[in-house]
């Protein structure tokens, strides 16, 4: 299964791409593949693609007919799943947890406040970090603990 970054507006998401990212600073549109139509490159019922919009632009995801499935806002992730077949092709949308990058999650050594403005539990000292750990989507992150 492939992972690919969008390079421009109007790109086709292929039938083997399970993760698509956009680091673009402009809004773009991407087309999902056909669902089980028996011709060309199609996906089967149950195929899932994760879309990450990591840039400043939104990503509009549309089906093969140009109908909007979802607008992935800048800085968010959305998972879409193919359901049905050629007679009733439908893409189901499910939000996915936001994943912090290593750069966001790991604070400077010896700090007492974790990244992103959260505070330590009462009476605690210095924050420590377990990791990096591989998250379910394959990215890396850190887990905070306090001493």
d(C-alpha 45, C-alpha 98), whole Å: 26
Task: Say if pTM beats, i.e. exceeds, 0.85.
Answer: no
d(C-alpha 115, C-alpha 85), whole Å: 45
Highest mean pLDDT among 28-32, 38-42, 114-118, 122-126: 28-32
Question: pLDDT tens-digit profile of 96-119?
Answer: 655 444 444 455 555 544 444 445
Mean pLDDT of 40-47: 81
Query: For 35-39, 46-50, 100-104, 110-114, which range has the lowest pLDDT when averaged over its residues?
Result: 100-104
Higher pLDDT, 7 or 142: 7
Q: Give yes or no for a contact between 65 and 58, defined as CB atoms under 8 angstroms apart.
A: no
SS3 readout for the chain: CEEEECCCCCEECCCCEEEEEECCCCCEEEECCEECCCCCCEECCCCEEEEEECCCCCEEEECCCCCEEEEECCCCEEEEEEECCCCCCEEEEEECCCCCCHHHHCCCCCCCCCHHHCCCCCCCCCEEEEEEEECCCCCEEEEEEEC
Q: How many CA atoms within 13 Å lie on the side-chain side of 88?
A: 3
Domain segments of the chain: what residues? 2-95, 102-146
d(C-alpha 106, C-alpha 133), whole Å: 12
Residue 8: the pLDDT is 95
Residue 118: the pLDDT is 47
Matching residue, tokens 């996906």: 43
Indicate whether 28 pLDDT > 80. yes
Short-list 78, 79, 92, 95, CA closest to 35: 92
Residue 114: the pLDDT is 47
Indicate whether 140 pLDDT > 80. no
């Amino acid at each position: 299964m492939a992972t690919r970054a969008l390079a421009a507006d109007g790109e086709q998401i292929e039938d083997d791409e399970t993760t698509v990212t956009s680091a673009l600073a402009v809004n773009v549109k991407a087309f999902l593949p056909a669902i089980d139509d028996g011709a060309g490159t199609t996906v089967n019922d149950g195929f899932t693609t994760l879309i990450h919009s990591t840039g400043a632009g939104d990503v509009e995801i549309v089906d093969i007919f140009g109908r909007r499935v979802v607008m992935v806002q800048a800085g968010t992730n959305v998972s879409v799943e193919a359901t049905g077949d050629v007679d009733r092709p439908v893409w189901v949308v499910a939000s996915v947890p936001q994943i912090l990058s290593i750069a966001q999650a790991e604070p400077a050594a010896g700090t007492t406040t974790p990244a992103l403005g959260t505070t330590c539990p009462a009476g605690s000292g210095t924050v420590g970090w377990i990791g990096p750990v591989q998250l379910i989507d394959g990215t890396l992150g850190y887990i905070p603990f306090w001493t």
